[in-house]
Structure 1
Amino acid sequence: MARSRFIAPARGEVPEAVFAHPIFAGYARHHDLLLADAWPEPAMLDARLDAHSAAGRRLRFSTQDAALLQDGLHYETRIHDAGLIATRAGNWHDLLNALVWFEHAALKCALNLRQVREIAAVGPRMRSRAQCALTHFDEAGAVVLLEHEDDVKAWDAHDWPRWFGQREAFAQGRIRVHVFGHALLEHALWPGRMATAKCLVLAGGDTTQWQSHLARTIRDGRVLNDPQELRPLPLAGLPGWSDAQHQPGFFDGDMFRPLRSGRVYPRPLRIEPAQLAR
């Protein structure tokens, strides 16, 4: 059966309480853009991107209209070559994408660079396995930081009750989840609707520097060469993220799927001090 196309709620239909959910916590300083009566103009988005740096590149948001599209450029090529991020007016998906640019510009630039390289290799009408992986992470990605690499064992086995049952580890920050994909944020506009994230996992070292390390790793082509590198993480299972967690049979739901036969995930990426110093 074909999946129905996701439709976001109208701007005025989203309760303010939605943005208090933990999925939006990493974007809290931009909640004014989500709660205002009117959609922000590109110039307002530009000012905020400048304030938080775009990984050393001059970028700006540009309304996606017929005039912009006359250049005939691929979306990713336009960002790389012209510094223009095509943004649809009155569109949740693109506004939430802007928020990710504000907070994770280095990662977004790394993904864009890799996309442009792949376009040059296979052409604008083809999609490589790497492009699929890059897009999955861009749209639905999350980064999971582990204090100890062995904490991933229950996740390796899709033992969801044991993995999400590490409540103390989540509460104390020994396991941290950073939502990156703007499509995940868009799904959460509907109260109680949590999608499944596609994750990269980092462990050890100085995790305060995870963004710069991961951006370099993506740029160097050491990750996101195949969608199979990404681990599924049903966000509803994260402690405190769903009111249904204490109901009997919660982990029997469709989103908590068993491990497929033969499926093996890559080991977590190691953050080594020597790499951070480069």
Structure 2
Amino acid sequence: MRYVAPAREVVDPVVFTHAPLKQWGEFADWLQGARWPSIDELNARWSLHAPERFVAQTRELLEDGLHYEERIATRGLIATREANWHDLFNAMIWLRYPQLKRALNRQQMAEIAQVGRRERSRPQCAQTHFDEAGVIVTVKDPGLLELWDRHDWYALFWRRRSAWVEGLVAVELFGHALLEHALTPGKLLVGKALVVMAGQEADSSEALACCARAIAEARWLRDPLELRPLPLSGIPGWHPGNAEEAFHRHAACYQPLREGRHYPAPLRLA
């Protein structure tokens, strides 16, 4: 069933006190204010030399005949529905992670050139899945990745709970549909993850830059099966129930590993 976000006036304020929405405080006025931000207000947040701009998605705009991605690549225009949660979150992702968005746009354009506007290739499916539900996960302990490989969610999120608090594994949320789903209190969230193995001193900006390069150079997101499911609701602070051990034994978001399913090796930071 297609998710329908709650109306702005009935969103429960509690959702802004938990991850992931808690982590987007720089946009609190857009998220929690009484009115929707205007297109001009969205554009006012761009850095001075950014080549893109948000533009209202109107019938006149769409009559240019361009694919959504082509309009961004050739005109720098990001079609945005006004008073719409999904597109507001997309704008926030553009403003926080422009290098990743541009890398995706570059590869979408390469695929459109190959298969046309009406077809969708395996790489395009992977890119769209990541755009909607993607997370970048930096792992600093190989043992955590081994647990993840086996879908040993109880061990990953309960026995090794301290690893999430201590920063041995860190998540950057990229998918704007995940933010939209988080508007529903207690909703179980599962991300589609790209993984970077890193040393103890690495920070999130290095992992993000590493991912952006790999996507732009067509080394990643060539197939949806590259993406690892990550039950985000198991991370401390992401769901009110996960402070109890029972959650990690029975949560519906903890799915077993499918027979024959294997994940690609992560990227590695030097």
Q: TM-score range by the shorter chain?
A: over 0.9
CA deviation after TM superposition for structure 1 residue 57, in Å = 4.2
Whole-angstrom distance in 2 between the partners of 1:95 and 1:88: 8
CA displacement 1:88-107 (0-9 Å, x = unmatched): 01100000111111110100
Match of 1:88 among 78, 81, 88: 81
Runs of 4 or more consecutive aligned structure 1 residues displaced over 6 Å after TM superposition: none
Give the equivalent residue in structure 1 for 2:2. 5
Return 6-15 or 148-157, whichever deviates more.
Answer: 148-157
* Cα shift readout 1:186-209 (whole Å, capped 9, x = no counterpart): 001011113210000101143342
Q: Answer yes or no: is the 8 Å Cα contact 2:103–2:216 preserved in 1.
A: yes
Q: 1:217 & 1:270 partners in 2: Cα distance?
A: 11
1:176 aligns with 2:166: no
Structure 1, 183-192 or 246-255: larger mean CA deviation = 246-255
Shift of 1:244: 2.2
What is the 5 A alignment of 1:28-67? 28-50=25-47, 57-67=50-60
Name structure 1 gaps, 5 residues minimum. 273-278
| Superposition deviation, residue 254 in structure 1 | 2.9
TM-score normalised by structure 2 residue count: 0.94
Give the alignment partner of residue 98 of structure 1, picking from 91, 114, 123.
91
Correspondence 1:1-278 to 2 at 5 A:
4-50=1-47, 57-165=50-158, 166-205=160-199, 206-207=202-203, 208-245=205-242, 246=244, 248=246, 250-272=248-270
RMSD: 1.5
What displacement does 1:44 show?
A: 0.7
Amino acid at match of 2:169: I
Aligned partners of 2:241 and 2:247 also within 8 Å? no
Provide, for residues 180-232 of structure 1, a one-character-per-residue CA deviation record: whole Å limited to 9, x for no partner: 10000000101111321000010114334222221111100111000000000
CA–CA distance in 2 between the matches of 1:48 and 1:249?
39
Asked if 2 retains the 8 angstrom alpha-carbon contact of 1:184 and 1:194, the reply is: no
What's the secondary structure of 1:233's corresponding residue? strand
Q: Secondary structure at the match of 1:86?
A: strand
Count residues with an aligned counterpart. Answer: 265
Give the conservation status (yes or no) of the 8 Å contact 1:149–1:268: no
User: For the residues of structure 2 that align with 1:194 and 1:147, how far apart are their CA atoms?
Assistant: 25
TM-score for the superposition, normalised by structure 1 = 0.91
* Percent of aligned pairs with the same amino acid: 46
Q: In structure 1, the residue corresponding to 2:184 is in which secondary structure?
A: coil
User: Gaps spanning 5+ residues in structure 2: where?
Assistant: none
